[in-house]
């Protein structure tokens, strides 16, 4: 099994963080509950996105009789956003609690290793600039000219390697002129800025690795079986130009992931998460522990 660290993945990590900042600048966030005693806020999902999703699933545009179905898609999308916000808050809390730190020297050392392994940062940055321009042109077509967002994705963005989840995120966070203005700095960047964004993503990769290592050590301290499987996994770990790989049999890996999920589930419980409004009854967040375990490993 391999954990890849590609230029595109680093850009996506940094883009998600930049969008979170743009959300704060653009406003219009809705409070959906509390976590760690603080407000939990997300941006409302655009009805345009829900209608487009309905059209893709059913093969037709929604009609008057499809209101409940579109509302269901809206709620499902909102729950996904809430789940992502909770995961981010819990992971950040553990980074602080375990005093995880990544220094600039570590980032530059890992960056140099990726470049030595064949990464061409200038070419990758130029390609990412083209992708950014296409995303923002797509937003303009959707909100300024009424074009179909799903058609834009399938005919333009998918071919550029943009994940649908990223396009959906941009559709939500760029649904008004004010929010698009807040997002503009993400799309209008130089090659050097794109490389800087990739290094920011690399910082997050290294931070997650350190967090995963400490979490595994804590679980192993009270679980002998986990510790044995963990030792097997770490002994097999190999470093490649695009990330890390390790060999461990399926049963051992499944056990490791189940115990990690349980550990993170306990951390979610400790966060005193309390949802309000429609999300309280409509969002099933039972799998968050497993979701975090897949992210932090």
Domain boundaries, the chain: 2-295
Give pLDDT tens digits for 248-266.
889 999 999 999 999 999 9
Nearest CA among 294, 290, 296, 295 for reference residue 268:
290
* Residue 27: φ, ψ to 5°: 75, -160
pLDDT of residue 285: 83
Cα separations in angstroms, 191 against 12, 132, 270: 15, 12, 42
In the chain, which residues have pLDDT < 70?
1-28, 52, 56, 182-191, 194, 240-243
- The conformational region for residue 277 under phi > 0 = left, psi -120 to 50 = alpha, else beta, is left
The pLDDT value recorded for residue 27 is 47
Residue 100's pLDDT is 95
Q: Structure pTM?
A: 0.72
Residue 204: predicted pLDDT: 87
- Quote the pLDDT of residue 140: 87
**What's the confidence (pLDDT) of residue 76?**
85
């Amino acid at each position: 099994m391999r954990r890849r660290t590609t230029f595109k993945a680093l850009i996506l990590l940094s883009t998600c963080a930049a969008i979170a900042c743009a959300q704060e600048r653009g406003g219009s966030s809705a409070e959906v509950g509390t976590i760690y005693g603080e407000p939990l806020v997300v941006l409302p999902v655009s009805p345009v996105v829900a209608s487009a999703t309905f059209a893709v699933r059913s093969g037709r545009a929604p009609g008057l009789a499809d209101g409940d179905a579109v509302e269901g898609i809206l709620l499902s999308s909102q729950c996904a956003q809430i789940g992502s916000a909770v995961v981010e808050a819990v992971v950040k809390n553990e980074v602080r609690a375990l005093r995880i730190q990544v220094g600039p020297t570590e980032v530059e050392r890992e960056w140099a290793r990726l470049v030595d392994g064949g990464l061409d940062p200038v070419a990758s940055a130029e390609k990412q600039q083209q992708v950014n321009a296409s995303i923002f042109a797509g937003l303009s077509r959707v909100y300024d000219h009424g074009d179909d967002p799903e058609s834009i994705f399938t005919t333009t963005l998918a071919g550029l390697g943009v994940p649908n989840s990223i396009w959906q995120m941009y559709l939500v966070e760029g649904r008004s002129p004010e929010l698009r203005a807040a997002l503009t700095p993400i799309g209008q960047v130089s090659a050097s800025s794109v490389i800087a964004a990739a290094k920011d993503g690399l910082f997050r990769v290294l931070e997650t690795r350190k967090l995963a290592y400490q979490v595994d050590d804590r679980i192993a301290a009270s679980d002998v079986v986990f510790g044995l499987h963990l030792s097997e996994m770490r002994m097999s770990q190999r470093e490649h130009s695009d990330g890390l790989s390790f060999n461990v049999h399926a049963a051992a890996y499944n056990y490791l992931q189940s115990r990690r999920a349980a550990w993170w589930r306990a951390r979610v419980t400790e966060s005193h998460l309390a949802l309000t409004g429609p999300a309280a009854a409509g969002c099933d967040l039972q799998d968050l522990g497993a979701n975090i375990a897949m992210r932090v490993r």
